[in-house]
Amino acid sequence: MWCPDELIVAPATVAGPGLRGIVRLAGQGLAPLLNRLLEIPAPGLAAAGSPPRLVRARLAAAGLADSWGALPVDVLYWPGPGGPVGGPLAELQLPSSGPLLAAVVTAVCGLGGRLARGGEFTLRAFLAGRLDLVQAEAVLAVVDARSPDELALALDRLAAGAGVGLQAVRNTLLDLLADIEAAIDFADETAPDAVPVTPHWDDVAARISQCDEAITAVATGLAARDAAAADLPRVVLVGPPNVGKSSLFNALIGHAAALVADEPGTTRDWLEARLGADEAPCILVDLPGLVDPGADPSDAVSTAAQAHAQTECGRAAAVIVCRDATGGASSFEPPMALPQIDVLTRCDRSHSVRGLGLGIETSSLTGIGIDELRRSIRETVARLPPRGSPATVRLAVGCQTARAGLAAAARSVAGDWVDESLVASHLRRAADAVAEVTGTAIGTDVLDRIFSRHCIGK
């Protein structure tokens, strides 16, 4: 387990142009180190137990100022024990220069600090109780967000709604466990002030139901936001020009959306449509025919179409490789190593390659193989890895385990004869599952895996 008191440092802004760059530091001995690194005017850094303070300093003349001059440095300093990581923390705001930030980090390491591991600042905030595990993993989701929807979802989690709700559920479960286990422990007591030995099982059942509803609300809400934020997997029709991809696209979605003609190059843009309802849905994409990379497109529009087709292939989760039955066994290969479905098109026009196992034999005109192809797409999409983040998957599994424990406890309480020990066992299982989701109780090896995925400086 990482030591929460070591003095660590890392750049906290991405490399590249910008107005300001930030170097983040945390750990014991931070104030003396900053006083050696910088010239800090009176009254100096905030004392322990004081609110954070912004100090306008300069690089120390006896240190980095020799090479960089007396550059101004804004220091935002949390003295601890409060603050984001529960101990001393500082952010040095400097001109955005990669070499300058690297020089500051190197100087800090020379004064006794070390480079932070990925996610170490967030881990310290978690260990100090400033974040629960749902929030901590949301930090990584903020960094990795690829769209406004994904960013909004990550920020929602960072705002602590899910973690606070689940922690309240765990507290209720622990209270229930305490009541039931006290009744078990004191069942033989006969003193007037003894703990009541018979819990009110109707009240227990109601509280179990409330916990189940709360967990369901958290899981449902986050799953709904995940579904909105994450794109459905994209399944792309690829192949040379004029092999019947657009006709196949129309047949699969059930209506004529793509323009169909016998001339090569009819499809200049990409078309997409949702395929499948509730079971393994995906986005089906029809692309322009992919030409040999060494070939010269005939015009600027074709050039743009080919570039866009390659981009769409890069977004694909799976590809449907189309070959024309009338053209024999094509040597065309898909542009990426992805799950693929091989298809022969226009099988109503030729029988020369049918039955050779070259792919699903289809005809958009007669409907041959269309249902089989839809089924194959559905099975391929169902086998794809989960699209949710590891945090989302872990949250879903934890909530499912907790709900299973609550359901078992509810069944035990509803019987004519109640076994207190069995009810307590089921409730403990639910409480433990919630504790793992929020990080209240989780192994150090799991924590290392979770936080090591974070960027250095976060």
The pLDDT confidence band at residue 58, using thresholds 50, 70 and 90, is: very high
pLDDT of residue 353: 65
Gap between the Cα atoms of 23 and 185, Å rounded? 55
% the chain with pLDDT above 90: 17
Gap between the Cα atoms of 322 and 327, Å rounded? 11
Write out pLDDT tens, residues 302-342: 555 566 566 667 778 888 988 888 775 455 565 567 888 99
Q: In this predicted model, which residue has the larger pLDDT, 241 or 18?
A: 241
| 374 exposure class (CB count in 10 Å sphere: 0-12, 13-18, 19+) | middle
pLDDT of residue 433: 86
% the chain with pLDDT above 70: 66
pLDDT of residue 157: 56
Residue 27, Cβ neighbours under 10 Å: how many?
25
pLDDT of residue 92: 93
Q: Which of the given ranges, 124-138, 146-160, 194-208, 336-350, has the highest pLDDT on average?
A: 336-350
The pLDDT confidence band at residue 93, using thresholds 50, 70 and 90, is: very high
Q: Which of 321, 322, 305 is nearest to 267 (CA)?
A: 305
Least-confidence region, from 10-24, 183-197, 409-423, 436-450: 183-197
Note whether 251 and 172 are within 8 A (CB). Answer: no
pTM of the model: 0.46
The pLDDT confidence band at residue 194, using thresholds 50, 70 and 90, is: very low
Q: Which helix (H) or strand (E) holds 360?
A: strand 360-361
